Structure 1
Amino acid sequence: MLYTPDQTAQLPAEGFRYLLTSLNDHVLTITLNRPEKKNALNPPMLAELAFALAYAHHASDVWLVVLAAAGDTFCTGMDLKSLLVGDDETASIPEPAGPVRLGELMAGLHKPSIARVQGPVYAGGFLLVATSTYVVAAESATFSLPEVKRGLFPFQVLAVLLNIMPARTALDLCLRAKTLQASEALMLGLVTDIAPVDALHDVVNGLLNELKQFSPIAMQFGLRAYQQQKDLPPSEQQAFLHNQFTQLQQTHDAKEGMAAFLEKRQPKWSGS
């Protein structure tokens, strides 16, 4: 993470410039709030996203994360104007410790995340969608990688797409700048659920309520192990995963879950 636990002990009291955040019943909702620019990602907005995701990662009271967007477009990716002429805007938060790479930040979140996609997703916006645990998209949402039309290539997006679809399919999306309808994105695994746009909130809430029934610490262990075992040779993966299971057994939630099962009652999760 690009921010320490001390730096992100709390969200900015005055709020962010380009994000809206709310924490309710262990769910942190992060809303991209630059609708006049179709939520294009400029450096200050990227820093705010890094800060908010670091807060979500470190805060024990955050069990689940929802990524949403204001306006009619989810995200158009990087702000090309800021790439060409730079951005001298005064930051609203401390400078991150390094370059902001959304794919890495989302992978390091280690908490279930849901992207609530109400409108089109372009270019670098895929980094938020393809790395979320779940993606609930409006039936009218579309998904496109137009970089080759601008003389660019979505290198980082390709890397995250390769985790969820065959290589030829991912390459084709990047090379031909095709526009996917939500139903096509669902078939490819980029989207996990589709719904009418006016039902998105209810579908996401239903998924959140289901996830809240389960141990948050168990899900965090599982998501962290999923990322970490990728870097291990096959000969070391099973030993690593066995060790993770042993550590998880020592947590309060694991002991509570097993006790609740034996006592035939609902568990009371603490997230510890």
Structure 2
Amino acid sequence: MPYEENTAPVLLQQHDGLAHITLNRPTQYNALSEEVLDALQDILDDLARDQALQCVVIQARGKAFCAGHDLKQMRSRPEHAYYLDLFQRCSRVMQSVQSLPVPVIARVQGLATAAGCQLVASCDLAVAAQSARFAVSGINVGLFCSTPAVALSRCVPPKAAMEMLMTGEFIDASRARELGLINHAVPDEQLDQAVHDLADRILAKSPVAVRAGKAMFHRQRSLPLEQAYDYASQIMAKNMMSDDACEGIDAFIQKRPAVFKGR
């Protein structure tokens, strides 16, 4: 169904192992309302169980990627319990993005602010249009972006993260790339092609290796060095026993293309 005919707050399209999740509130700059968070969580939960999934792209309709939380909706319920529940729900969505068993690519156009910037930082990879801008701007309205700080501080150097959080100032796509918030900043008209090319490069790899690699990468970051190496050794030994690894190594030795089957 064309996007114009679908009023769901979040859309999902899947084809050949690739899923596109589309934020669908363009006139509200794709703000993360309660409805958007609930829809995102449902989609992420379903995708986590999809054994055929190989890669996910999170994108958005309209002029902005995501303007963060829906401030008007938030102000309509000035209750501590409501705010705590809201931020915990958003935090669960962000953790679900990271815990998906396959790589997640953010396709960023326009603005990515506050929780929108948090969403970019929570994705494994990110490609942005040169005109995109990023900020954690809650400080400008008297609200420190505490939950976005969790993802941001794990993605960019701490002093750079602190400057963004304390000033609320925007950075452009080139600076975001320098800091490691995004992988690539490309001309606006090349954004779709750049995302497509990156996804294709992942889809061409062994599904077994990709899934093992994503889970291993995030877990080892939280471990002390010796434990990280022990854990990585166990994962790599298990990966070596897979059909895909045997096929890939044999193909390399025999100088032929590998045919991966996801086992």
TM-score band (shorter)? 0.7 to 0.9
Structure 1 residues 85 and 118, CA, compared in 2 at 3 Å: closer, same or farther?
same
Task: Specify the alignment match of 1:223 in structure 2.
Answer: 214
Task: Specify the alignment match of 1:90 in structure 2.
Answer: none
Correspondence for 2:89 among 81, 84, 99: 99
Give every structure 1 segment of 4 or more consecutive aligned residues whose post-TM-superposition deviation is greater than 4 Å.
none
Correspondence for 1:41 among 12, 25, 32: 32
Task: Specify the alignment match of 2:8 in structure 1.
Answer: 17
Task: Specify the alignment match of 2:161 in structure 1.
Answer: 170
Contact 1:144/1:180 (CA < 8 Å) preserved in 2? yes
Higher helix share: 2
Tell me, yes or no, if structure 1 residue 130 matches structure 2 residue 121. yes
Shift in Å, 1:211:
1.8
Query: Cα deviations across residues 89-120 of structure 1 (Å, max 9, x unaligned)?
Result: xxxxxxxxx83413311221131121111211
Query: Cα deviations across residues 200-246 of structure 1 (Å, max 9, x unaligned)?
Result: 11111111222222112212111101122233333322211111112
Query: For the residues of structure 2 that align with 1:105 and 1:16, how far apart are their CA atoms?
Result: 24
Task: Specify the alignment match of 1:83 in structure 2.
Answer: 74
Aligned-partner SS, 2:256: coil
Moved more, 248-257 or 69-78: 248-257
RMSD across aligned C-alpha pairs, in angstroms?
Answer: 1.9
Query: For the residues of structure 1 that align with 2:173 and 2:89, how far apart are their CA atoms?
Result: 31
Aligned-partner SS, 2:181: coil
Please, which runs of 5 or more residues in structure 2 have no aligned partner?
Answer: 1-5, 78-87
Please, which runs of 5 or more residues in structure 1 have no aligned partner?
Answer: 1-14, 87-97
Task: Specify the alignment match of 1:212 in structure 2.
Answer: 203
Shift in Å, 1:16:
8.1
Query: For the residues of structure 2 that align with 1:149 and 1:268, how far apart are their CA atoms?
Result: 53
Query: For the residues of structure 1 that align with 2:90 and 2:107, how far apart are their CA atoms?
Result: 22
Moved more, 70-79 or 238-247: 238-247
Query: For the residues of structure 2 that align with 1:270 and 1:107, how far apart are their CA atoms?
Result: 25
Aligned-partner SS, 2:31: coil
Shift in Å, 1:256:
2.2
Query: For the residues of structure 1 that align with 2:143 and 2:38, how far apart are their CA atoms?
Result: 23
| TM alignment of 1:1-272, pairs within 5 A | 17-86=8-77, 99-101=89-91, 102-272=93-263
Q: Which amino acid aligns with 1:168?
A: K
Aligned-partner SS, 1:99: helix
